[in-house]
Amino acid sequence: MALERTFSMIKPDATRRNITGKIVDRLESAGLRVVAQKRILMSKATAEAFYAVHRERPFFQELTEFMSSGPVVVQVLEGENAVLKNREVMGATDPSKADPGTIRADFAESIGENSVHGSDAPETAAEEIAFFFSGSEITG
Ligand code: ATP
Ligand code: MG
């Protein structure tokens, strides 16, 4: 099966609690390889651009304020079925509904402050990777 890449982000609630390593361990243990990674502070405008697809949703202001409230770790993950595998390891958006043993079940604080983002399809993965990384920053 072909290798696939997905985009992942460790959110400000997790960087604040110093648990980025614990989250990376979950990703790597699931067979995903970190082929690019950097820690950045998004401006409000950058968060709004990244989440533009959600701009009409009622939580857009809350989401973009939270995502620009502290550092995030942006990553490119590689592996077989990486998009789906990452979504499985993350668990449901709402931690109270996430399966036991998933990142969000074990670490997320609320539906908004839910520790991780992961692309939902290969097409969005390609867009989100290109939003943060140039080709020379990604190496398997
Ligand atoms: P992500 O896109 O971050 O991987 P997701 O695909 O599980 O998460 P989306 O529906 O795309 O969830 O929502 C994007 C993000 O917006 C969520 O991860 C969460 O941080 C925030 N969010 C979603 N629903 C709510 C809500 N009802 N209230 C507050 N924040 C929310
Ligand atoms: Mg989403």
**What confidence tens digit (pLDDT) does each residue in 93-136 have?**
999 999 999 999 999 999 999 999 999 999 999 999 999 999 99
54: annotated active-site residue: no
Asked whether residue 140 carries a pLDDT value surpassing 90, the answer given is no
Distance 81 CA to ligand 1 centre (A): 22
Q: Is the CB of 47 under 6 A from ligand 1?
A: no
Q: Is the CB of 65 under 6 A from ligand 1?
A: no
Give strand pairing partners of 33: 78
Alpha carbon distances (Å) from 40 to 10, 58, 83, 122: 10, 26, 22, 23
**140 in Cβ contact with 33 (< 8 Å):** yes
Give the residue from 89, 81, 84 showing the smallest Cα distance to 4.
Answer: 81
